[in-house]
Structure 1
């Protein structure tokens, strides 16, 4: 017996709009090597429950070639990064409701809500009735789980915002910060400071505030309830430039897990390697590789935690590719490969998706980025490509 999932009206409208955009964009998409996925229908099987712990890691701007370049530098050959060892792998489309090339707001929203929206929109039904779209983080909060957001970008940047805020425009960072602190209130908020976030506002909202690695690592993770890590003013530094007294992504992820895992009902955690994207915009290979490797180390840290915490789903993916990177020659371990770049912006290329843990067997073939939402909720698809 199966209970069919009833999609709400907003989702059907947005899905139809997305289909029209996809058809119109096939030529543009094919020029980037991407393909259009057949939409899947998701359901909840009788007796199946969502995983207790759900951890999503997003490499912003991390396409297949970024993964390949990082693997060549670190290991001398591709295919050996932590998440590339996961048992279930596929690829994900990235187009938005109004463009064959997404931005991080629409890309993050598709993953967070299961609905394609226009570029620049943060988890609101645009196109559609303009109402807020319930995110996977909010759904898990309603189910009693603790929640967190971790990023190397500004805390109020588009990707984390898509999971815990609702705005017509991604630039409304002060409003996004207010929604974090006063409305959705994730237990953990770790990222760059400023851009709408302030220690004073966070403290007034009941958060413990930390501003550097030493303060973060001094937290009593068994007793602290809500933490806002505001590290610097703006994005965290690139790994290759040195992070000083600020934490690495893997350190933020480890601390976040040690705080959230006190909840007997489980957790939802989104972790973003956000500066992979920025290095792609710059066409800066060294920075791009080092950010990707720090992201891979973070996945390894999360996997180590998950091995000791049964009933944990880990999904690794990206919101889009940045820079049109192409690896031309492997120069061996410890050497940066020879590459070319075709853009200083996002492309329409498909990106990878990697899964481990309960329900990760739903990762296969070419999926829509909206499918990731249902996958994270522990649902199963009944039709596919």
Structure 2
């Protein structure tokens, strides 16, 4: 090759070597650092002089050294042309630096080994992100385990109380003449029955993971609406709020306990935030839109200022009225239940006119 081309080639290599954003080093067959670029000194904190006085093994984490040397021997023997591994170096300040190390070999014209060429990319931040994600996953798993244990204890204990209440109701029926015909007693007995169904549904959730849409099963929407209305009859009567049920006999894809919770939450809110200035009502009806069944819950209550609160409507601990028992939890939970079943919620509302919530369920 002509001398001027050799000079150009050498100059080009020198520019690439010195200005590369990642570390590049030439390492001797005795594992000593022969030459390092500026990025390498920045990465590990040692000067060129300090590098030249060390072997790479001096600043390699002991748990990564054996694999590195094993790969180097394969290079020397000609078994491989290059290799890439994750490897930890020690910075001059003592910190561990995670890197992605790529190594190849330069040889003499006769094929004998000359030196190793190492390229070093800092991946410490990526590693830290992975560790943080794994930590969050572990925390979430631990919290989930605690919730499962809590649900097991809670459902077991509540079921015991339900059994006791059932026995008391039986005693009342036997000992109190005419109580079976009392409307309030009938509502109490039916409410206790519905509570037992809810506990059974909670056990169903405790045993299985329903956050995958494939685990949903067909459910009769009108049955859940009827149960919710029955459970709210006493409260609606007390608040002088009329409940109108226009839900068709149609199936949706869902989870029993979630459907119970969703319908009961919307119905409770509609009654709770009814207006005292007019005859209150809540109308529930169903509409089919494409692949969805829409449950529409419409009221003529206090309404919500959507211009001010639309972004916070389903956020945790956000409330929009000054009732003392408003916690800002119901809508947050309800939205999560609906979305976990592949649905969504739309809202229309006007202050002192009323609200309409449209809940989209997957059609069975």
Higher relative contact order (CA 8 A, sep 6+): 1
TM-score by length of 1: 0.21
TM-score by length of 2: 0.22
| Structure with greater helix percent | 2
| Structure with greater strand percent | 2
